[in-house]
Amino acid sequence: MKAIIDGLLVLSNEIVTGHILMYEKDIWKIVPRHQFRAGMCTELIDANGGFVVPGFINEHIHGCAGADVMDEDGQALETMRKALPATGVTSFVATTMTQSKEAMAGALERVRQAMGKQGGAQVLGAHLEGPFVSEDYKGAQAAGYLAAPDFSWIAPYADVVKIITVAPEVLKNKSFLKECRDHQILVSLGHSAATYEEVMEIVDAGGLCHATHLYNAMAPFHHRQPGLVGAALLSPKVHCELICDNLHVHPAAQKLAYQLKGRDGIILVTDSMRACLQGDGESELGGQAVYVKDGQARLADGTLAGSTAVMNQVVLNFLINSGASLPDVVAMASANPAKDLGLYDRLGSLEEGKQADVVVLDSNDFHVKQTVIAGELVYDELAK
């Protein structure tokens, strides 16, 4: 048996002090301090007053530490798996870019091979960001490979793809939505110039969907043309990704989203690229040169191209900007993605019987002190 002591446990709706989290591969029990004896455990982590939170689940990440999901060398996902625990991420949905069908198929096959691997952040599957998006709001997606939604070439990877970003206005055949639902693939609306009516037609026709990085790569809100932003903020069926690096989304827009969507309607993501954890300089995303200066990643024409954000900082930024409670904000990076991906029975909160994915955060600046995945200590700042 192992234990985390002297921490502030961030549970679903409260912060608990004076308790010990005991675990092996799964969380065994949370007990009052007076019931615990050191001899009960073979391994102790002293949180030293830090916050003890469930591991973060990043559902939208292209890369970090010099690696990208689209890399063909076969090492990129392993690099990401090893680097992400230092940011509090214990599992992630590897996100592709719009490239050729062959390149995207190769990426999906590599994701398939990485799923289930232990010893680092766990790969949950793939988020297909494109090619089914609008040229008007393609962002850093390569225009030459954009295509109409077609489930036939996704079908061989239905076990891998967990999320698909789609622009509503390019979706001419609504059977695509049914195919996604039948295969438990979450449709995320984004990279779109869609009208409010086009979005609501899709939302009303189905169940839960996501909005890919709300506010970004979509027509801006206008009082006579509310578009995707307006529909996403108003509909309880749409859960909204937010990149809270204070560059992609202004702090006031973050607070507005929280006031309209509440705890359950927001999912914090990084949308990070290979330049994440690499500092300033020239990088690459989707075959295009990217230039990072002062932490801002842009294409040559100035277009924002993903981010260099890390999840622990995103969580802290949103906590400061939104006025939400810490349990609410932590849920947006753990419980909410777990629920929407159908994994909440195993991941997303500190509860008895769930997988022991646990992160210790410094209570001042949220830097990651230790990360445990499936009961194994995979990151310790003192061991760096």
Q: What does the pLDDT read at residue 279?
A: 87
Q: What does the pLDDT read at residue 176?
A: 92
159 classed as catalytic: no
Q: What does the pLDDT read at residue 354?
A: 98
**pLDDT tens, 307-352?**
999 999 999 999 999 999 999 999 999 999 999 999 999 999 999 9
Q: What does the pLDDT read at residue 299?
A: 83
Q: What does the pLDDT read at residue 384?
A: 67
Q: What is the 3-state secondary structure (H, E, C) of the chain?
A: CEEEECCEEECCCCEECCEEEEECCEEEEEEEHHHCCHHHCCEEEECCCCEEEECEEEEEECEECCEECCCCCCCHHHHHHHHHHHHCEEEEEEECCCCCHHHHHHHHHHHHHHCCCCCCCEEEEEEEECCCCCHHHCCCCCHHHCCCCCHHHCHHHCCCEEEEEECHHHCCCCHHHHHHHHCCCEEEECCECCCHHHHHHHHHHCCCEEECCCCCCECCCECCECHHHHHHHHCCCEEEEEECCCCCCCHHHHHHHHHHHCHHHEEEECCECCCCCCCCEEEEECCEEEEEECCEEECCCCCECCECCCHHHHHHHHHHHHCCCHHHHHHHCCHHHHHHCCCCCCCCCCCCCCECCEEEECCCCCCEEEEEECCEEEEEHHHC
- Which is the catalytic residue, given 271, 328, 340, 357? 271
Q: Which residues of the chain carry a pLDDT beneath 70?
A: 140-142, 384
Q: What global pTM score does this model have?
A: 0.96
**pLDDT tens, 146-180?**
888 999 989 999 999 999 999 999 988 888 999 99
